[in-house]
């Protein structure tokens, strides 16, 4: 049976959400990313003036003096993202949130059979625009790979319906490197074999594909030929495989206390996420990146899975010294939690150390609630403290004053 898959892609998503929230910005060049000093997203108006992603703000102002620069507000974008998915669910049984600004939906068996699939696609676009003041581009095709390429074709605000008869022309005008999951390495390899567009690739015989590629390449090949291999799937929260938090700081440092508090902060943030998802890691890895971009990392197993940072931090501290070298300057640290288990699966023994962990869990439930209400890092681990002290825009001390926190001693 033929399958019908749509890919929905938000147009200039972050900038558009900002504009939806502040309608007076409509039609103006908007750049998001002021908090980091470089553009992480931009409106079409800004793009038209020559602004590119990654461009420093001072340079943007030079070429585009009337630019509006805004800090990124991830929580807001996540909210709009959910609203879009919510609209899509009116029409499709299965919706896969692929990233914050993209989703797939399976329209093989639509909820409303009185509408054609093309009508549904246009209705989704219309609903989003009317209800959220955002525009999306949508591709409808037989497979995820084709739908994804199709949604890119007529951006912004474009609907692209790919029928079997259009496929050849469509794939001939699709560069091989712009096919989903064919990156620069594979594209270079394929060009070396005389393959320059998606059509060239899709018409190779199976034995050729097997001779020159691995399994993923064969799957992409099938998808381009209209054979659906990748299914649209709802992602459950607890399916998340890993959580990582990394951060580059300036200037580079060889101060072990600085590096340890950076690690501690990253660990805390990763644990906050793990608690929000209610999952527990069984493995932890962390790394230091040197100024010359070399990684030094290590990994360890947790005897008791936990998402409470202080239980993990002591292990990191102990292993830290095997990676650290005071003759080397470091630029980035990162922490990754993996081997996830749903917390419901872990049964604490209710005697001995299990009791302590259960008590600590409730302490962190309070901390999460306070941080949710008053902002990130209103309460944080002492081991992370020096990071916040050193941050220029000192949000931490600001919150300290505002909340008048009293130091009650260390909870060990």
Partner DNA sequence: TCTGGGGTCCTAGGACCC
In contact, 280 and 274? CB cutoff 8 Å:
yes
Does residue 212 bind DNA (CB under 7 A)?
no
Does residue 265 bind DNA (CB under 7 A)?
no
Does residue 398 bind DNA (CB under 7 A)?
no
Binding mask 14-53 for DNA (x = CB under 7 A): --------------------------x-------------
Active-site residue, 169 included: no
Burial of 117 (C-beta count, 10 Å sphere; 0-12/13-18/19+): middle
Site for DNA in 330-369 (CB under 7 A): 332, 334
* Size of site (CB under 7 A) for DNA: 39
Question: If you search the block for the tokens 């393959």, which residue do you land on?
Answer: 195
Task: Name the residue among 163, 155, 199, 198 with its Cα closest to residue 9.
Answer: 155
Residue 243's beta-bridge partner residues?
A: 337
Sheet containing 283-290, strands listed edge to edge, beginning at the edge strand earlier in sequence: 242-253, 330-338, 283-290, 295-301
For DNA, which residue of 18, 45, 96, 102 counts as binding (CB under 7 A)?
Answer: 102
Does residue 293 bind DNA (CB under 7 A)?
yes
**Cα–Cα distance measured from residue 64 to residue 53, given in angstroms and rounded to the nearest whole number:** 14
Does residue 244 bind DNA (CB under 7 A)?
yes
Sign of CA dihedral 225, 226, 228, 233: positive
Give percent helix, percent strand, percent coil of the chain, each to the nearest 5: 45, 20, 35
Q: Shortest distance, CB of residue 257 to DNA, whole angstroms?
A: 19
Q: Shortest distance, CB of residue 216 to DNA, whole angstroms?
A: 5
Is the CB of 277 or the CB of 313 nearer to DNA? 277
Tell me how crowded residue 262 is: count the other CB atoms within 10 A of its CB: 26
Which residue in 102, 219, 223, 262 is the catalytic one? 102
Q: How far apart are the first and last CA of the chain?
A: 61
Exposure string (b/e) for 33-47, b if CB count within 10 Å is 16 or more?
bbeeeebebbbbbbb
For DNA, which residue of 103, 107, 147, 182 counts as binding (CB under 7 A)?
Answer: 182
Q: Would you state the structure tokens that stand for residue 124, as one six-digit string?
A: 């989704």
Q: Shortest distance, CB of residue 66 to DNA, whole angstroms?
A: 26
Is the CB of 310 or the CB of 336 nearer to DNA? 336
* Options 85-93, 191-199, 235-243, 343-351: segment touching DNA (CB under 7 A): 235-243
For DNA, which residue of 18, 96, 101, 223 counts as binding (CB under 7 A)?
Answer: 101
Q: Shortest distance, CB of residue 301 to DNA, whole angstroms?
A: 7
**Cα–Cα distance measured from residue 98 to residue 234, given in angstroms and rounded to the nearest whole number:** 9
* Options 16-24, 80-88, 128-136, 208-216: segment touching DNA (CB under 7 A): 208-216
Q: Shortest distance, CB of residue 295 to DNA, whole angstroms?
A: 6
Does residue 240 bind DNA (CB under 7 A)?
yes
* Options 194-202, 292-300, 348-356, 403-411: segment touching DNA (CB under 7 A): 292-300
Distances (CA, A) of 66 to 30, 42, 62, 69, 357: 9, 14, 9, 10, 55
Does residue 268 bind DNA (CB under 7 A)?
no
Q: Would you state the structure tokens that stand for residue 374, as one six-digit string?
A: 């008053």
Does residue 215 bind DNA (CB under 7 A)?
yes
For DNA, which residue of 161, 187, 385, 400 counts as binding (CB under 7 A)?
Answer: 187
Does residue 246 bind DNA (CB under 7 A)?
yes
Residue 32's beta-bridge partner residues?
A: 41, 70
Does residue 186 bind DNA (CB under 7 A)?
yes
* Options 16-24, 173-181, 203-211, 374-382: segment touching DNA (CB under 7 A): 173-181
Does residue 204 bind DNA (CB under 7 A)?
no
**Cα–Cα distance measured from residue 152 to residue 158, given in angstroms and rounded to the nearest whole number:** 8
In contact, 232 and 95? CB cutoff 8 Å:
yes
Is the peptide bond prior to 87 cis by the omega test (within 30 degrees of 0)? Answer: no
Does residue 242 bind DNA (CB under 7 A)?
yes
Burial of 173 (C-beta count, 10 Å sphere; 0-12/13-18/19+): exposed
Q: Shortest distance, CB of residue 405 to DNA, whole angstroms?
A: 25
Question: What amino acid positions are annotated as catalytic residues?
Answer: 102
- Residues lying near DNA in the complex (CB under 7 A): 40, 98-102, 148, 179-187, 214-216, 240-248, 269-270, 273, 292-293, 295, 297-299, 332, 334
């Amino acid at each position: 049976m033929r399958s019908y898959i749509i890919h929905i892609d938000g147009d200039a998503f972050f900038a558009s959400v900002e504009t939806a929230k502040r309608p007076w910005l409509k039609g103006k060049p908007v750049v998001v990313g002021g908090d980091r000093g470089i553009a992480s997203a931009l409106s079409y108006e800004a793009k038209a003036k020559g602004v590119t992603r990654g461009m420093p703000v001072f340079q943007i102002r030079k070429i585009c003096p009337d630019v509006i620069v805004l800090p990124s507000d991830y929580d807001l974008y996540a909210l709009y993202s959910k609203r879009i998915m919510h609209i899509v669910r009116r029409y499709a049984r299965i919706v896969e949130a692929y990233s914050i600004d993209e989703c797939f939906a399976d329209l093989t068996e639509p909820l409303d059979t009185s509408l054609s699939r093309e009508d549904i696609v246009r209705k989704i676009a219309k609903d989003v625009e009317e209800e959220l003041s955002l525009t999306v581009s949508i591709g409808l095709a037989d497979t995820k790979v084709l739908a994804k390429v199709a949604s890119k074709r007529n951006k912004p605000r474009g609907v692209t319906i790919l029928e079997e008869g259009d496929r050849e022309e469509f794939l001939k005008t699709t560069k091989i490197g712009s096919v989903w999951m064919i990156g620069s390495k594979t594209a270079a390899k394929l060009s070396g074999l005389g393959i320059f567009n998606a059509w060239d690739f899709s018409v190779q015989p199976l034995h050729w594909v097997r001779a020159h590629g691995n399994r993923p390449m064969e799957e992409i090949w099938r998808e381009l030929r209209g054979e659906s291999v990748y299914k649209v799937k709802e992602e459950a929260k607890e399916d998340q495989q890993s959580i990582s938090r990394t951060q580059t700081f300036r200037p580079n440092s060889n101060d072990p206390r600085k590096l340890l508090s950076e690690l501690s902060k990253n660990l805390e943030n990763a644990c906050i996420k793990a608690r929000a998802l209610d999952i527990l890691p069984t493995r932890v890895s962390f790394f230091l990146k040197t100024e010359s971009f070399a990684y030094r990392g290590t990994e360890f197993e947790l005897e008791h899975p936990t998402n409470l940072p202080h239980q993990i931090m002591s292990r990191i501290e102990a292993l830290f010294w095997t990676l650290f070298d005071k003759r080397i300057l470091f630029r980035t640290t990162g922490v990754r939690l993996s081997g996830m288990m749903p917390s419901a699966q872990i049964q604490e023994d209710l005697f001995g150390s299990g009791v302590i962990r259960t008590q600590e869990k409730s302490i962190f439930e309070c901390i999460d609630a306070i941080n949710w209400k008053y902002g990130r890092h209103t309460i944080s681990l002492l081991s992370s403290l020096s990071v916040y002290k050193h941050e220029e825009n000192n949000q931490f001390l600001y919150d300290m004053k505002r909340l008048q926190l009293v130091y009650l001693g260390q909870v060990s």
